[in-house]
Amino acid sequence: MVEILDLSNNRLSGIIPECMGNFSSLRVLDLRKNRFYGSIPGTFAEGNHYILDLGNKKINDTFPYWLGNLLELRVLVLCSNKFYGSIRDCSKTNKCFPKLRIFDLSNNSFSNFLPTLYFKNLEAMMDVGEDERELEYMGEDYYQDSVILTWKGHEIQLGRVITTCTTIDFSNNYFHGEIPRVIGNLHALRLLNLSHNNLSGCIPSSLGNSIALESLDLSSNKLTGKIPWQLANLSFLQVLNLSQNHLSEPIPQDNHLDTFSNNSYDGNLELCGFPLSQKCGTYSETPQPPSTLEDDAESSSGFGWKVVLIWKALVGYKDS
């Protein structure tokens, strides 16, 4: 009885064999960093996987919607392939991916709207259950699970995947339309990356309900309107990137939204307020005097390093 099949980090090539989907007892299938191409065998839907990592290959296929039938699937990584087309929503009568905690479709060619019905079924990201409160690791009793993620702006390899690691990364695709409000129901979600797409409309205020968010990247889209003040409710937020959109009006000054650097808001020509130099209701046309390197370092973050040190000492701030 085969429970673990790890063929990662080899030079295997060719089409993924159909027989790999015939192991009904399989918990882990890791094929990352090989040279497979073609499509994903539909027989995978007959198994009972916990981990499915098919990242960094040349798979040329549409979204394998039948994987939604794997009710025990916790990690789905399809990043950096050649997937294309729209993501067909799962059935309204069946639950899809109820235990999924890592959902990575980044760096592909997916298009059309974001899959709202999938987000509605991500029960493991809606709340932290009692079994996850003890900070256990996925596969601790049978396999040393690991996965490569873009976490807080940096690509890292997690040698062990903690059960509370909940991420959605759909960046670098061609999704368009609005960001579904239902994402705000994912109260246990820690990382959301929808950057480098063609998303439009306003940032939904419901994202303020995703209270566990530590990293939010919506950069390089076509988002409009104001930044919702509800984002100030995200007290664990350490990384925020809303740059290169069409946002406008003042940056909310509540709580900590004004403590992020200019880079978090760059490229929004009608956005104003601290920490940007653009004052609300006015345009700064006065040439700035030459500055020293120390001054430049201070101005890039919006306040001086001395003030930062004092502020850290007062509130016990800890860098991420």
Q: What is the pLDDT of residue 137?
A: 45
The pLDDT, as a whole number, for residue 265 is: 94
DSSP H or E run through 7: none
Say which amino acid occupies 88.
R
pLDDT of 271 reads: 93
Residue pLDDT, tens place only, 226-285? 999 999 999 999 999 999 999 999 998 876 787 888 999 999 999 998 888 888 875 443
CATH dotted code for 4-286: 3.80.10.10
Q: What is the pLDDT of residues 169-187, one digit of tens each?
A: 999 999 999 999 999 999 9
186: CB partners within 8 A, 6+ apart: 119, 122, 125, 126, 166, 168, 210
Q: What is the dihedral of CA 100, 104, 110, 115, to 10 degrees?
A: 30
Q: Is pLDDT larger for residue 253 or for residue 133?
A: 253
pLDDT for 111-131, tens place per residue?
A: 999 999 899 999 999 985 544
Q: CB-based contacts of 280: which residues, under 8 Å, 6+ apart?
A: 249, 250, 272, 273
Averaged pLDDT, 150-156: 57
Can you give the residue ranges of every domain in the chain?
4-286, 292-320
Contact status, residue 110 vs residue 136, Cβ threshold 8 Å: no
